[in-house]
A and B are shown apart, each in its own frame.
Chain A
Amino acid sequence: QVQLQESGPGLVKPSETLSLTCTVSGGSVSSGSYYWSWIRQPPGKGLEWIGYIYYSESTYYNPSLESRVTISVDTSKNQFSLKLTSVTAADTAVYYCAREDSSSSDDYLDYWGQGTLVTVSS
Protein backbone atom coordinates (compact mmCIF):
# COMPACT_ATOMS: atom_id res chain seq x y z
CA GLN A 1 0.00 0.00 0.00
CA VAL A 2 1.35 3.40 -0.97
CA GLN A 3 1.59 5.94 1.81
CA LEU A 4 2.67 9.57 1.74
CA GLN A 5 3.56 11.70 4.77
CA GLU A 6 4.28 15.42 4.80
CA SER A 7 6.73 16.94 7.25
CA GLY A 8 8.10 20.39 7.92
CA PRO A 9 7.63 23.53 10.01
CA GLY A 10 4.10 24.52 10.87
CA LEU A 11 4.98 28.20 11.21
CA VAL A 12 6.91 30.33 8.75
CA LYS A 13 7.64 34.04 8.97
CA PRO A 14 6.57 36.41 6.18
CA SER A 15 9.18 36.81 3.41
CA GLU A 16 10.89 33.55 4.40
CA THR A 17 10.89 30.20 2.60
CA LEU A 18 8.37 27.45 3.25
CA SER A 19 9.99 23.99 3.01
CA LEU A 20 8.10 20.71 3.17
CA THR A 21 9.08 17.11 2.53
CA CYS A 22 6.91 14.19 1.51
CA THR A 23 8.14 10.72 2.42
CA VAL A 24 6.80 7.95 0.21
CA SER A 25 6.48 4.33 1.25
CA GLY A 26 5.17 1.44 -0.81
CA GLY A 27 6.23 3.05 -4.08
CA SER A 28 9.23 4.67 -5.74
CA VAL A 29 9.57 8.35 -6.54
CA SER A 30 11.83 7.24 -9.41
CA SER A 31 8.94 5.59 -11.24
CA GLY A 32 8.10 7.26 -14.51
CA SER A 33 4.46 6.25 -14.26
CA TYR A 34 3.63 8.74 -11.55
CA TYR A 35 3.69 12.47 -11.05
CA TRP A 36 4.60 13.46 -7.49
CA SER A 37 2.42 16.41 -6.70
CA TRP A 38 1.79 19.20 -4.22
CA ILE A 39 -1.67 20.69 -3.62
CA ARG A 40 -2.71 23.25 -1.03
CA GLN A 41 -5.94 24.34 0.61
CA PRO A 42 -6.31 27.65 2.48
CA PRO A 43 -8.47 27.34 5.60
CA GLY A 44 -12.11 27.02 4.63
CA LYS A 45 -11.37 27.26 0.91
CA GLY A 46 -10.89 25.03 -2.11
CA LEU A 47 -7.99 23.08 -3.53
CA GLU A 48 -5.13 24.69 -5.46
CA TRP A 49 -2.69 22.61 -7.49
CA ILE A 50 0.91 23.73 -6.98
CA GLY A 51 2.85 21.45 -9.30
CA TYR A 52 4.52 18.09 -9.78
CA ILE A 53 7.78 16.35 -10.55
CA TYR A 54 8.25 13.23 -12.63
CA TYR A 55 11.13 11.17 -13.95
CA SER A 56 12.97 12.55 -10.91
CA GLU A 57 13.78 15.85 -12.59
CA SER A 58 11.02 17.08 -14.88
CA THR A 59 8.69 19.56 -13.28
CA TYR A 60 5.59 21.56 -14.01
CA TYR A 61 4.42 24.40 -11.79
CA ASN A 62 1.22 26.38 -11.57
CA PRO A 63 2.01 29.65 -13.39
CA SER A 64 0.45 31.57 -10.51
CA LEU A 65 3.24 30.31 -8.23
CA GLU A 66 5.97 29.43 -10.70
CA SER A 67 8.34 32.26 -9.80
CA ARG A 68 8.43 31.13 -6.15
CA VAL A 69 8.13 27.34 -6.30
CA THR A 70 10.66 24.53 -6.56
CA ILE A 71 9.82 20.83 -6.36
CA SER A 72 12.67 18.34 -6.13
CA VAL A 73 13.26 14.66 -5.46
CA ASP A 74 15.69 12.77 -3.23
CA THR A 75 15.68 9.25 -4.63
CA SER A 76 18.03 7.97 -1.93
CA LYS A 77 15.43 8.78 0.72
CA ASN A 78 12.38 8.18 -1.51
CA GLN A 79 11.19 11.70 -0.77
CA PHE A 80 10.12 14.74 -2.72
CA SER A 81 10.11 18.29 -1.48
CA LEU A 82 8.44 21.66 -1.91
CA LYS A 83 10.06 25.05 -1.48
CA LEU A 84 8.01 28.23 -1.68
CA THR A 85 9.91 31.48 -1.32
CA SER A 86 8.88 34.95 -0.16
CA VAL A 87 5.76 33.70 1.61
CA THR A 88 2.94 35.94 2.77
CA ALA A 89 -0.19 35.33 4.83
CA ALA A 90 -1.91 34.29 1.59
CA ASP A 91 0.27 31.18 1.59
CA THR A 92 -1.23 29.95 4.85
CA ALA A 93 -2.84 26.63 3.97
CA VAL A 94 -2.94 22.91 4.50
CA TYR A 95 -0.33 21.49 2.13
CA TYR A 96 -0.89 18.02 0.70
CA CYS A 97 1.50 15.81 -1.17
CA ALA A 98 -0.09 13.33 -3.54
CA ARG A 99 0.65 10.87 -6.31
CA GLU A 100 -0.89 11.36 -9.73
CA ASP A 101 -1.25 8.04 -11.52
CA SER A 102 -0.50 8.40 -15.21
CA SER A 103 0.32 4.73 -15.75
CA SER A 104 -2.89 4.16 -17.69
CA SER A 105 -3.03 7.66 -19.17
CA ASP A 106 -6.05 8.50 -17.06
CA ASP A 107 -4.15 10.86 -14.76
CA TYR A 108 -5.72 11.19 -11.36
CA LEU A 109 -4.55 11.72 -7.78
CA ASP A 110 -4.85 8.29 -6.25
CA TYR A 111 -2.85 8.62 -3.03
CA TRP A 112 -2.62 11.63 -0.73
CA GLY A 113 -0.76 12.50 2.42
CA GLN A 114 -2.77 13.54 5.45
CA GLY A 115 -1.84 17.18 4.93
CA THR A 116 0.09 19.61 7.07
CA LEU A 117 -1.01 23.09 8.11
CA VAL A 118 1.52 25.81 7.44
CA THR A 119 0.80 29.21 8.95
CA VAL A 120 2.64 32.30 7.76
CA SER A 121 2.91 34.75 10.61
CA SER A 122 5.49 36.79 12.43
Chain B
Amino acid sequence: DIQMTQSPSSLSASVGDRVTITCRASQTVRRYLNWYQQKLGKAPKVLIYAASSLQSGVPSRFSGSGSGTDFTLTISNLQPEDFATYYCQQSFSNPRTFGQGTKLEI
Protein backbone atom coordinates (compact mmCIF):
# COMPACT_ATOMS: atom_id res chain seq x y z
CA ASP B 1 0.00 0.00 0.00
CA ILE B 2 1.10 3.58 -0.62
CA GLN B 3 1.33 5.48 2.66
CA MET B 4 0.27 9.11 2.65
CA THR B 5 1.68 11.40 5.32
CA GLN B 6 0.33 14.88 5.90
CA SER B 7 1.93 17.67 7.84
CA PRO B 8 1.12 19.33 10.03
CA SER B 9 -1.60 17.30 11.78
CA SER B 10 -3.12 20.52 13.04
CA LEU B 11 -2.68 24.14 12.23
CA SER B 12 -3.86 27.38 13.79
CA ALA B 13 -4.41 30.39 11.56
CA SER B 14 -6.42 33.56 11.27
CA VAL B 15 -8.85 34.93 8.71
CA GLY B 16 -6.87 36.43 5.86
CA ASP B 17 -3.82 34.22 6.39
CA ARG B 18 -2.17 32.04 3.77
CA VAL B 19 -1.57 28.44 4.83
CA THR B 20 0.14 25.45 3.26
CA ILE B 21 -0.48 21.78 3.98
CA THR B 22 1.97 19.15 2.79
CA CYS B 23 1.31 15.58 1.70
CA ARG B 24 4.05 13.04 1.05
CA ALA B 25 3.58 9.65 -0.58
CA SER B 26 5.73 6.63 0.30
CA GLN B 27 6.28 6.04 -3.43
CA THR B 28 5.43 7.93 -6.57
CA VAL B 29 1.78 8.61 -7.31
CA ARG B 30 2.68 10.71 -10.36
CA ARG B 31 -0.06 13.37 -10.30
CA TYR B 32 -2.85 11.15 -8.98
CA LEU B 33 -3.26 13.19 -5.83
CA ASN B 34 -6.51 14.68 -4.61
CA TRP B 35 -7.40 17.04 -1.77
CA TYR B 36 -10.66 16.95 0.20
CA GLN B 37 -12.18 19.28 2.76
CA GLN B 38 -14.35 17.86 5.53
CA LYS B 39 -16.43 19.94 7.88
CA LEU B 40 -17.71 18.54 11.14
CA GLY B 41 -20.50 16.04 10.61
CA LYS B 42 -20.37 16.33 6.83
CA ALA B 43 -19.05 14.23 3.99
CA PRO B 44 -15.71 15.18 2.46
CA LYS B 45 -15.78 17.44 -0.59
CA VAL B 46 -13.17 17.42 -3.33
CA LEU B 47 -11.22 20.66 -3.72
CA ILE B 48 -8.31 19.73 -5.96
CA TYR B 49 -7.85 16.69 -8.20
CA ALA B 50 -4.89 15.53 -10.27
CA ALA B 51 -2.58 17.50 -7.97
CA SER B 52 -3.47 20.95 -9.27
CA SER B 53 -6.88 20.98 -10.99
CA LEU B 54 -9.50 23.03 -9.18
CA GLN B 55 -12.85 21.29 -8.88
CA SER B 56 -15.73 23.22 -10.38
CA GLY B 57 -17.31 25.60 -7.89
CA VAL B 58 -14.32 25.66 -5.54
CA PRO B 59 -12.96 29.15 -4.80
CA SER B 60 -9.72 30.09 -6.50
CA ARG B 61 -8.03 30.77 -3.15
CA PHE B 62 -7.46 27.01 -3.04
CA SER B 63 -4.53 25.73 -5.08
CA GLY B 64 -2.50 22.55 -5.31
CA SER B 65 0.92 21.67 -6.61
CA GLY B 66 3.40 18.85 -6.77
CA SER B 67 4.07 15.57 -8.49
CA GLY B 68 5.73 12.27 -7.72
CA THR B 69 5.84 12.03 -3.94
CA ASP B 70 5.53 15.60 -2.65
CA PHE B 71 2.42 17.74 -2.82
CA THR B 72 1.05 20.91 -1.27
CA LEU B 73 -2.35 22.45 -0.75
CA THR B 74 -2.31 26.21 -0.33
CA ILE B 75 -5.21 28.30 0.89
CA SER B 76 -4.81 32.03 0.38
CA ASN B 77 -6.80 34.67 2.20
CA LEU B 78 -8.40 32.25 4.66
CA GLN B 79 -12.11 32.68 5.12
CA PRO B 80 -14.17 31.63 8.17
CA GLU B 81 -15.74 28.77 6.19
CA ASP B 82 -12.28 27.28 5.44
CA PHE B 83 -11.74 26.07 8.99
CA ALA B 84 -12.13 22.33 8.56
CA THR B 85 -10.10 19.14 8.22
CA TYR B 86 -8.21 18.51 4.99
CA TYR B 87 -7.23 15.12 3.57
CA CYS B 88 -5.00 14.13 0.70
CA GLN B 89 -5.70 10.92 -1.18
CA GLN B 90 -3.79 9.03 -3.84
CA SER B 91 -5.67 7.43 -6.73
CA PHE B 92 -2.59 6.10 -8.53
CA SER B 93 -2.99 2.55 -7.29
CA ASN B 94 -5.18 0.26 -5.22
CA PRO B 95 -5.91 0.32 -2.41
CA ARG B 96 -6.68 4.04 -2.49
CA THR B 97 -5.19 5.63 0.60
CA PHE B 98 -5.74 8.86 2.49
CA GLY B 99 -3.49 10.99 4.59
CA GLN B 100 -4.29 11.18 8.28
CA GLY B 101 -5.80 14.64 7.93
CA THR B 102 -4.86 18.20 8.85
CA LYS B 103 -7.20 20.09 11.15
CA LEU B 104 -7.21 23.79 10.40
CA GLU B 105 -8.33 25.79 13.41
CA ILE B 106 -8.85 29.42 14.16
Contact partner of B95 among A49, A110, A115, CB < 8 A? A49
Q: B101–A49 contact, CB under 8 A?
A: no
Docked pose: A59 CA to B33 CA in angstroms: 22
CB of B94 closer than 8 Å to a CB of A: yes
**Cβ contact within 8 Å between B95 and A47:** no
Whether a CB of chain A sits under 8 angstroms from the CB of B83 is no
- Find chain A residues with CB under 8 A from B101 CB: 46-47
CB contacts under 8 Å to A, within B15-54, are 32, 34, 36, 42-46, 49-50, 53
Contacting residues, chain B, for A107 (C-beta < 8 A): 32, 34, 49, 91
Bound CA span A39–B7, Å:
22
Tell me the smallest distance from the CB of B57 to a CB of chain A, in Å.
11
B1 to chain A, nearest CB (A): 7
- How far, in Å, is B102 (CB) from chain A's closest CB? 10
Partner of B34, one of A63, A109, A114: A109
A83-99 contact mask (Cβ, 8 Å, vs B): 1 or 0: 00000000000001010
Give the number of A-B contacts (CB < 8 Å): 61
A48-B98, A49-B98 in contact; A63/B1 too (CB < 8 A)?
yes
Closest-by-CB residue of A relative to B4 is: A46
Contact present for A47 and B1 (CB under 8 Å): no
Asked, given contacts A106-B53, A109-B36, whether A63 binds B95 with beta carbons under 8 Å apart, the answer is yes
Q: Output the nearest chain B residue to A108 by Cβ-Cβ distance.
A: B49
Closest residue on chain A to residue B90 by CB atoms: A107
Which of A49, A64, A96, A100 has a CB less than 8 Å from the CB of B43?
Answer: A96
Query: B74 to chain A: which residues have CB within 8 Å?
Result: none
Identify the B interface with A (CB < 8 A).
1, 32, 34, 36, 42-46, 49-50, 53, 55, 87, 89, 91, 94-101
- What would 6 A/B residue contacts be, using CB atoms closer than 8 Å? A51-B95, A64-B95, A106-B53, A107-B32, A110-B49, A114-B42
Known: A46-B87, A49-B89. 12 other contacts (CB 8 A): A46-B99, A46-B100, A47-B89, A100-B96, A106-B49, A106-B53, A106-B91, A107-B49, A108-B34, A108-B91, A109-B34, A112-B43
